[in-house]
Amino acid sequence: MQSDYSPEFRDYVEDYWDIVLGIVAALAAYYFHTLHHDYISTFFAALSIVALSVTVSEVAEILAERLGEPYGSFVLTFSAVAVEIILLFMILTAGGHEATPETLETVKSGIISAVIVDMNVLLGLAVFVGGLAFAEQEHNEDTSSTYTTILFISSIALLVPSLLAFTPHGEERLMKASIIISIMLFIYYITIYIFQTKTHSHFFKATARSRILRLKKRKKLGEDEEHEDDYIFERLPNWANLLAIFALIFGVGIMAEIFAHDSSAVFSDLGINAGLAGLIIAIISVSPELITAVKAAKNDQIQRVINIAMGASTVSILITVPALMALSYASHIPFTLDFNALQIGALLLTIILAWKTTDNGETNYIEGVSHLMFFASYAVIAALY
């Protein structure tokens, strides 16, 4: 028998599945962590991180809509990179102040892999799905042109410490070069932030800085009349939503610590190298916006997809790198920006591919397949490198 409450129940599930799943998975992760079941606790910790990250992004989007620019962009940017920074930093500090070469390489791989996943898996899958549904989709070509230029220059900046490592006395100068480059990247981000939110916001339309854009539930009453959303965070004041974001990020931090502690043993037992481990970590941190990007593409919102993929990649370099450098320096961990040839090469080739597939302001499914093919090739090399 069809219940009159079934539509409301479906709406409830749609609104709160991420919170319920995040809490249940967190409790399971903690329980199995105390029993030293590393495989199970790692799985549930990763699941909790993904689910709670979805909620963080949804609340941040609500705040962004209310606050407007530039405060909205700040909230979205902070929420977007917070999970990635926390997860990578927990892995960096899992072994205390004496970070092993394997740990350092995993974190470096995680930084680069976040961009690789955003620009190839997220963008590629969304463009592929959208291309199948609409044949061709149009976006603002100024957006992709600006982002690919920013990403190319940022990648060149990351190449500097790596090149210095091969010069005479390069090891002595590596830390100094890494600190200088991280400061330069952060200054570059501030300039870009002003460009996006003040002087050239029209280049990015209304969704400029969003990594996660919640597809809000709207019920039709009469002639497409919208009623007030009963999602709990829509009804909370701004200060309460800010507290909710901090509380959720705190929960993510606890799960990240469990994941960092237990996953190292799992990766070692399974013979997973640092490159592949970094790729797995990147997929976990990127998965919430991947879901959103695919939904946007199915709704013929390819501009939103471009903003999510390229905006996420930009902040992954320009904020994550300086933040990890600052945190590692404060923790007396010798973290430097000497990425290997595979990482830098894959990063540059990804940006070139994204430039070619988006430069004319139109996308189709073969361009999505091309990005997915590139990622598959990179994953094979990362696993065997």
273-326 residue pLDDT tens? 888 888 888 888 888 778 778 887 888 878 878 888 888 888 889 999 999 999
The mean pLDDT value of the chain amounts to 81
Q: Which pair of tokens denotes residue 299?
A: 């709704």
- Is 1 domain-assigned? no
Residue 324 counted as domain residue: yes
* pLDDT for the residue 96: 66
**Stretch 231-247: mean pLDDT:** 86
Distance (Å, whole) CA 341 – CA 162 = 9
Task: Tell me if 3 is assigned to some domain.
Answer: no
Residue 172 C-beta-side C-alpha neighbours within 13 Å: 2
More confident residue, 206 or 263: 263
- Residue 340's region, left for phi above 0, alpha for psi from -120 to 50, else beta, is beta
What pLDDT, on the 0 to 100 scale, is given for residue 77?
Answer: 66
CA distance 380 to 378: 5
Q: Look up the CATH number of the domain holding residue 342.
A: 1.20.1420.30
- Model confidence at 213, pLDDT cuts 50, 70, 90, reads very low
Tokens at residue 341, please? 């040839």
The reported pLDDT for the residue numbered 323 is: 92
340 falls in which pLDDT band (50, 70, 90)?
confident
Rounded CA gap, 351 and 334, in Å? 29
pLDDT of 257? 87
- Nearest alpha carbon to residue 33 among 252, 256, 271, 285: 256
> Has residue 14 got a pLDDT over 90?
no
Q: What mean pLDDT comes out for the span 107-111?
A: 90
Binned at pLDDT 50, 70 and 90, residue 365 comes out as: confident
Of these ranges, 44-48, 210-214, 261-265, 362-366, the one predicted with the greatest mean pLDDT is 44-48
Instruction: Compute the distance between CA of residue 109 and CA of residue 118 in angstroms, rounded to an integer.
Output: 14
Q: Give me the pLDDT at residue 211, please.
A: 39
- Interatomic CA distance for residues 144 and 123, integer angstroms: 12
- pLDDT for the residue numbered 120: 92
User: CB of 112 within 8 A of CB of 343?
Assistant: yes
Q: What is the C-alpha separation between 22 and 46, in angstroms, rounded?
A: 10
pLDDT of residue 218: 44
Q: Are 364 and 136 in contact (CB under 8 A)?
A: yes
- Look-up of token digits 């072994």: 95
Q: Give the distance from CA 127 to its chain's centroid.
A: 18
pLDDT at 223: 41
Determine which of 14-23, 155-164, 203-212, 245-254 has the lowest per-residue pLDDT on average.
Answer: 203-212
Please state the rounded mean pLDDT for residues 43-67: 84
Q: Which residue intervals of the chain are DSSP H helices?
A: 6-34, 38-67, 71-92, 101-116, 123-134, 141-164, 170-194, 232-235, 238-270, 274-298, 302-318, 320-330, 341-358, 365-384
Torsion sign, CA atoms 27, 30, 35, 36: positive
Total structural domains within the chain: 1
What are the residues facing 362 on neighbouring strands?
A: 138
4 in any annotated domain: no
Task: Quote the domain boundaries for residue 40.
Answer: 9-384
The arithmetic mean of pLDDT across residues 218-240, rounded, is 64
**Could you tell me if residue 16 is inside a domain?**
yes
- Cβ contact 302:138 at 8 Å: yes
Q: What does the pLDDT read at residue 322?
A: 93
Q: Does 2 fall in a domain?
A: no
pLDDT band of 371, cuts 50, 70, 90: very high
Distance CA(161)–CA(336), nearest Å, equals 8
Confidence at residue 376, expressed as pLDDT on a 0 to 100 scale: 93
pLDDT at 159 over 60: yes
Q: Identify the band that residue 352 occupies on the pLDDT scale cut at 50, 70 and 90.
A: very high
Q: Is residue 341 part of a domain?
A: yes
